[in-house]
Each structure stands twice: as structure tokens, then as C-alpha cells.
Chain A
Amino acid sequence: MSIPLKIISVLAWRNLWRNYRRTSIMLLAIVVGVWAMIFMNALMIGMVDGMVKGGIRNLPGHAQIHHPAYRDDPSVVNNMPAPAGDLLKALGSDGVLGWSARVRVPAVISSERDSRGVILLGVDPVREAGVGFDLSDLVDGRFLEAADDTGLVVGAKLLQRLETRLGKRVVVMSQDPHNNVAERGFRIVGVYSAELDSQEETFIYAGRETVQKMLEMGSAISEVAILGQDYRDLSVWYPALEQAAGSGLEVRDWRELDAFLDTMLGVQDGMALVLIVIIFIALSFGLVNTMVMAVFERIREIGLMQALGMRPSSILYQVLVEAFILLVLGLVLGNLLALLTIAPLESGIDISGIADGAEMFGMSTVLYPALRAGDMVMASVIVMVLGLLSSFLPAWRAAHINPVEAINKI
């Protein structure tokens, strides 16, 4: 006699609630476990996302084009021509959100009081604003207005170190391609703030043409920084760009430019899986125990059902359906709970209380937990599949008892 699934489900459902305390406790355990998996994952993704985005802003861009020797020797000598022809066309392709041709050279900035080593960026303000500079970071004055702007935009921290202020003049000293010291006075027209102090102290922005003139480098530039849609997927535009750049230039994506970020991303993906599996193992002991007990206390009943002609397979299904219902309930509630707890946090968790520690990890002071449907599905599928697998043993045992012995058990 094979029993329809509907009846098996009804039986399983009723069996579950025969001992509502046990079922509730087990359900609570599954809910807590599932919630923790998703919640911790969301925090971790938020953290790594913040690090990668910060790193990409620092580079900046999802990819960069350089003179082949520039990365090893970031000198003005290793420059490249401004993008033209095929390269310019590739930069205009779909998927590229923005690009910026920049002069980027080490320099020394001096005020009347102090001097510092910095990196001088000669940028085209309109293009740069979409790639490496966020206009909302400006805290005082204005950003550059044109590529031939003669003003200078510096970080707030640098301003403090140099003991100077907005509107003052400073001298920027660097080296031209002929190995002569080139220097020029600039008026500070804008001050920006950044997530990390080290950024504010390192980068100063000037008009690209102004810097090219100062360094006598014609229209040459140091690098092109390119920003795409999604940092995880560059395939839309990157290969074409690589081809257009030809062999005379070096094109690198962010994974190659900052190996650490790439490693972090890989470690995070691995960690998410490890986390889910660890929590599941802790959960599975309880699950197996619950199912074993549920079978054990019904052993006479199961024996009787078999004696009446119920097939072992129906009994197997019945126990598995019980576990399935338990898991589905736990997963639905756990996912809901995760959604409810993360939603109010998505606008950002302020972790400025540990700003110095966060800076060591390259993190910003606001953590944005990110709930991704893919992670919720992954956690749910893993819990469901492993959960059914671990319930299989008690179910198998229930299906293969000897009816006569079972009925006679006390």
C-alpha cells in the first residue's frame, strides 16, 4: 500500500506538533542558526565591500592604463600619450562609466612653515569628478574648474600639517622629464576630506594642463583611470580596452593593481561558506537528535503501521517530510528575521568609535551591511540539503525496524 503524499504530509505535520515543546525548541535553534548565517554574512559583505570600494577609490578606478615601466618607477619619465584613436573609442564604449587622464607624480609641497612629500595629480576636473574625486568630499572652497585651473585642492589633514589655510600660497616641487627640478607656486582653492587620514595627506589636485606646463611634458599623461559599472564584472569593456591599448601600454584591472583587495574578496567568499557549514554542523547535532528521538518514541506505532501493511518507503518519507517541514519553517522564519534585522541597518552602522582600528583594515567609519539574495539562497539551500541528508539516517532506521520486535517494545 503506497500512501499519497498528501496523507504523509498531514501525518508528518501532526506528528511534529505532538510534542510542541521539542519542535519549538528545535525550530528556535534553526531560526537562530539561519539568522546568524545570513546576518553575519551581510556584515562581512558590508565590510569587504567597503574595503574594496575604498581601495578602488584610492587607486582609483576599476582599471588603469600606464606606461609599462610606470608602476615600478612612478616617475614623470614614464609617461604615455593622451588617449586617442582606438583607445579613445574603447574608452567611450558601453559599460565604462567614466575615465580620467591624469598626470601623477611624486612631489614636495611646502608652506611657509613645513614641507611634505605628496603625490601631485594633474587632472581634468570634469572627468576626475566621475572617477577619483567625489565632489561631496569638498569641505571648503571649490574644486578645480578647468584643466588649466591654476588653483590647488588639498586634504584637510595636509593643510593642518603644513599649518596653512585656504587662499594661501604654497610651493609644489617635482621633477621634469629632463631631470630638472620644476617648481611652481599654487594658491590653495579647495580643501577635501577623505575617509582615511593617509589619503588626505597624500593626494593634492591641480589642473592637468597647468601641471603639464610646469613639468614640461607637453600633452603627455601618467595614467588613465577607468571606472566601470560593477567592480565584480569588468568583462563588458575590459578586453576591448586591452586590445585597443596595444602592446606599448600596460592595462591592469584593480585585481592586479591591488592584489590585497582581490585576496580579501576571495577570502570573504570562502569565509561565508565556512561560516554556513560550521553553524550548520552545530545545528545538525540537535536536528539528528530530535529526529532520532521522534522516531524512537514512536517505535511501537511505526511497528504497528508496518504490521498493518504500510511500506517502509512511506515511513521513510514520513520522517523526511517531518524534517522538511521543520527546516522549511525554520528557513522561512530565519530569513524573515534576517531581513527584518538587517533592513534598518542598511543605511549604515556607525563604527567611528573604532575608527583607528577600522583604518588599519582600510575600512571606512560607516559599515553598510549588504543583504544579497544569492547569499540567502545559498544559506537556505545548504541548510535544506544538509538537513535532509542528516535526517536520512533516523528515517532509514525507522523504515527498517522489525515490526514484531517494535510492537513488543515497552
Chain B
Amino acid sequence: MNVTLRLAWRNLWRNRRRTWLTVGAMIFTNLLMIFLISLQLGSYDMMIENSLRAFTGHLQVQRLGYLEEPRLRESFNGAQALAEQLRSRLGVQNVAARAKGFALASSEDRSFGIQILGVEPDYEPRVSSLPGLVKTGSWFSSEAAEEIVLGAVVARNLKVGVGDEITLIGSGRDGSFAAALVTVVGLLESGIPDLDRLVAQMPLRTFQAVFSMPDQAHMLVVELGGLDQVAAALQQAQQLISERPELVALDWDVLQPGLKQAIQTDMASAWFMYAVLIILVSLSVMNTQLMSVLERTREFGTMLALGIRPGRLGRLVMLESLVMSGLGLAIGVCGGAILALYLSQAGFSYPGMEEMGAKFNLPGRIYPAFTLLALFWGPSVLFVGAMLATIYPALKLLRLQPVAAMRAV
């Protein structure tokens, strides 16, 4: 072991209690930050995946302008053929065409205006989590079945159940009168009232017939394995539609701009608190190191008199802080890793989370992320903060006069 390092190590343990109190502050802060950051990252992942799987998918192809003004007539031709091309191009099956329209749904004794989604019965379950939530009844029997799947709340409001018929009245793409009689085959229960009040899906072929828009759809929805594949897939999709200038490919960030902003806002406000904690701990380090420098004034004076350069004394103090912060980092990260690893398996829940989760489409239990980022993000900033805080006491050493220092009380 190098002499300066050995000196630093021994100096630290001259006053055990003080060192442990400072290291303890670091361990506490590091553990807390690791816990909170891994919880945050875990919930963001879930929030993104859940909302994307429920609604927009990772990627969509739409007509230019549909995003701003989602109107029935903003549809495009050859939708299913294009979906097939996109599937072979991307090498995945998780591509589905959708159409969106609006109609007045009437049962025997109720009428409501509802938004209707036309979906491809074979592909929709691959891109969306909603078909999997059909708890009563079943999914569509065929590609052009005159059937409809309703959200549980919609069905309750219409007073219909599986097997009942409802009439749909609206206007078609060409402005014609659109009407259809469809059978309710399935009820979708997500447990999220806002969602169950919204959903009404029918097979795309049937939708096209009802709304007189043969072979057309409003969007192709692509669901990928993870967010990291979006950029490459987006490029592929853009190449595919390069000959059709009326179409655009949009990624999830454009489709759901609120999602990223909500996450960034949440992260920023959390970092405000982390910054405060880090400043507090850094001040504590600064205080400890200042004290330990001041009480060793005579000793340092002697060392200077013996020919040690002031710079080396400064490095000694920096090294002491480095060892202390290193200890705090190592113990904090080890403890945090165990905690995060356990929670990432067992999950974490607190009272009131179910209601909050339901609002943001999250399950009642969060599985924190166990990643290097979650483990080291907070603690490494604290480490830097503690080192910066030591600069002030270390600088004091550079101005030390040996003779005066040796005489200091």
C-alpha cells in the first residue's frame, strides 16, 4: 500500500465515531436513492409498456395529418396489404391495421354515442393487451363477423350482455348513412373504469363495410419487443412507405407525447430532492474534513517542516474523503443492490397505490428496476458531491505556514 493511502486510512480511524457518522450519512442517502430510483425506473418501464400495449403500440403508420385531426375520412388505401408488407419487412407478426370511427349504439332500451375501433381479429391480440382482457364471452369468430366486443361499463350502460344485439348508426366515410346490426360476443374488463367505458371493437372487415371504406384503415400499429428496437423499426417503416408521401411513420413518443413528459417531470422533481440530500451530506463531509484538518494543524505544520509539500497534504485530505466516500458508495450500493434485487422479485406496494395505479394504467404492485443505472446513478453523484466538498478544507492546507502551524494551539 502506498504511504499516502496508508496515512489516509489510519487518519480516518483516529476518530472512528466521526468517520462512521459521515459514512453512515452516505450509506443512508445511497440506500434511499437506490431504492427510490429503481422504483421510479421500474414504474416508468411499466407505465410505458402498459400504455403502449393498451393503446398506441410502439410505432404507427398513419396518413399525414391524422394525428392532429383524427377524422374518419383521413384513411388510407390498401391497409391490410401494407400491413402484410410491413410484417415481412420487420420480420415480426406484431403488426395490425386499425380503423377508428364513431357511432350511436342503441340497445333495446339505451342509446349511447361510442367510439368504435375496427381491428384485425388475427393480429390485434399480438399488438394490444386489450383482447386478452375479454373476461366474458369470446373474441371474434371470423375476419368479417358481424360482431362487437364492448367494455364492461359500456355494456352495462347499454344494458346488454353477451349474445345481445345492438344497432350502430353513424355516417360513413363518403358521408352516406351507416347502419349495422351486430352481436355482442365479448365483454372486456380491465378494471380501469375509464378504459372500460371507452372500448368498442369490431372486425376491420365489418367496420370497412359499415363505414363504407373498403380496404382502408386509419393506422398500422406495430408492437415491438422493447423500446430499444423502435428506432430501427421506424427507419424500416419509413423506407417502406417512402413511395407513398401521404403516409407517415410515428414512434410512441410522438403518439403519446404526455408519457415522456410525465416521466421527465417526475424524474426532475425527484432529483430536486436527491440534490438536496446530496448537498446536505456533502456539507456534512465538508464539516468533518474541515474539523479533521483544523485539529491536525500542528501535525501538518510538522510534516511541512519535515519537507512534505503542501500539495501532498492536500492530496492526503482528498484521499481521506475518497476512501470515506468509497466506503459509503460500496456499502450503500451493496445494500441497495440486495434491496433492489429482492424488490425486483417480490414487488413493492404501498397503501393507495391501487387507486393511483388504476388512474395511470399501472398494476397495484411495482417491480423496481434492477439495473446498473438505478444502482449507480444517485450514489455516483453523491460521490462527486462529497469530493467537491473536500476541496475547501484541502485548499486551506495549501496556505499553511509551517512555523505558525506548529505553534497553533
Contacts and interface: CB of A to CB of B under 8 A. Distances in A.
Interface of A: 19, 21-22, 25-26, 28-29, 32-33, 36, 40, 43, 72-75, 106-108, 110, 114-118, 160-161, 173-175, 179, 181, 259-260, 263-264, 266-267, 275, 278-279, 281-283, 285-286, 288-290, 292-293, 296-297, 351, 354-362
Nearest to B292: A293
A73 B157 contact: yes
A288 B356 contact: no
B262 A282 contact: no
Interface string B20-33: 01101100110010
| Candidate in A25, A286, A351 with the most chain B CB atoms within 10 angstroms | A286
B396 to A, nearest CB: 9
B280 A283 contact: yes
B238 interface: no
B290 A117 contact: no
A297 B291 CA distance: 10
Interface stretch (B53-61, B107-115, B210-218, B311-319): B107-115
Interface of A (DSSP majority class): helix
List 5 tightest A-B contacts by C-beta distance, closest first: A117-B113, A357-B261, A285-B25, A286-B284, A356-B258
A75 B110 contact: yes
B273 A275 contact: yes
Given A115-B104, A260-B359, 12 more contacts: A29-B279, A33-B276, A75-B110, A106-B113, A117-B102, A117-B113, A260-B358, A263-B356, A266-B352, A285-B22, A351-B265, A354-B264
Nearest to B157: A73
B381 to A, nearest CB: 14
A45 B8 CA distance: 47
A294 to B, nearest CB: 10
A40 to B, nearest CB: 6
Contacts of A179: 108-110
A289 B288 contact: yes
Contacts of A40: 272-273, 276
Contacts of B28: 281-282, 285
B264 A32 contact: no
Interface string B259-281: 11111110001001100110111
Contacts of B32: 278
9 contacts: A22-B291, A72-B156, A75-B110, A106-B112, A110-B171, A174-B111, A179-B108, A282-B29, A357-B257
A357 B156 CA distance: 31
Contacts of A359: 258
A118 B277 contact: no
A285 B286 CA distance: 13
B287 A289 contact: yes
Nearest to B112: A106
B102 A116 contact: yes
A199 B32 CA distance: 39
B244 interface: no
B18 interface: yes
Contacts of A19: 294
Contact of B21 (A106, A107, A260, A289): A289
Nearest to A119: B113
Contacts of B25: 282, 285-286
Contacts of B108: 179
Given A28-B283, A259-B355, A360 B72 contact: no
Given A117-B114, A259-B355, A260-B355, A358 B265 contact: yes
